Amino acid sequence: MTLSVQQTVKTTVRRSLATLDMMLDKAAAFATTKGFDVGVLLGSRLAPDMFPLTRQVQLASDTAKGMAGRLAGQTLPVFEDVETTLPELKERIARTMAFVDSIDAAAYDGAEQREIRIPTRAEVLEFRGDEYLLAFALPNLYFHVTAVYMILRHNGVELGKRDFLGAR
């Protein structure tokens, strides 16, 4: 048995999205206990020119969707960034997981060698599949999930590394 792209993508996405979902629940509970609107946390950021929590969740969703869809050669569904409430963000997370779960394992065959092209405003990024996974998609996904953790921790929500690593 060797490590597979499908296993790497599914394990990472499933755990990351579950962690995000759990952190949103902890944010909601904290806001309720302290008696403030959880929207304050959703709009919080760590620097004036960084994205707030809501956008970090949307970007984690996009990264998870893109990682799975691109490596499996699927057409990516478009998720409009319209979420403004915590239940809407949780629904976005669930929708992302449902898309990743819908991909047939066989679609990942040859994913390591797949040519990945990502148009950005400035340029078109081009990767071989394994490079895209290890050097772009994984760090990107963890970046946004950790950003959510840090924003919440900075605002007093009780989270620990164990919450971040998630259930085994």
How many chain residues interact with its own copies (CB under 8 A)?
39
Based on the shown chain and the rule CB under 8 A, indicate whether residue 90 belongs to the binding site for its own copies: no
Sign of CA dihedral 43, 142, 97, 82: positive
Based on the shown chain and the rule CB under 8 A, indicate whether residue 121 belongs to the binding site for its own copies: no
Based on the shown chain and the rule CB under 8 A, indicate whether residue 135 belongs to the binding site for its own copies: yes
Q: What CA–CA distances, in Å, run from 24 to 42, 52, 68, 144, 148?
A: 9, 14, 23, 14, 9
Based on the shown chain and the rule CB under 8 A, indicate whether residue 33 belongs to the binding site for its own copies: no
| DSSP summary character for residue 11 | H
Q: How far is the CB of 145 from its own copies (least distance, A)?
A: 8
Cα-trace Rg, the chain: 16
Report the residue from 26, 44, 153, 163 that binds its own copies according to the rule CB under 8 A.
Answer: 153
Q: 3-state class of 128 per DSSP?
A: strand
Report the residue from 15, 55, 90, 95 that binds its own copies according to the rule CB under 8 A.
Answer: 15
Q: Interior CA angle at 95 toward 92 and 98, to 5°?
A: 155
Report the residue from 2, 82, 121, 123 that binds its own copies according to the rule CB under 8 A.
Answer: 2
Report the residue from 21, 88, 112, 163 that binds its own copies according to the rule CB under 8 A.
Answer: 112
- Burial of 31-52, coded b for 16+ CB within 10 Å and e otherwise, reads beeeeeebeebbebbeeeeebe
Residues at the interface with its own copies (CB under 8 A): 1-5, 7-8, 11-12, 15-16, 46-47, 50, 112-113, 130-131, 133-136, 138-140, 142-143, 146-147, 149-150, 153-154, 156, 161, 164-166, 168
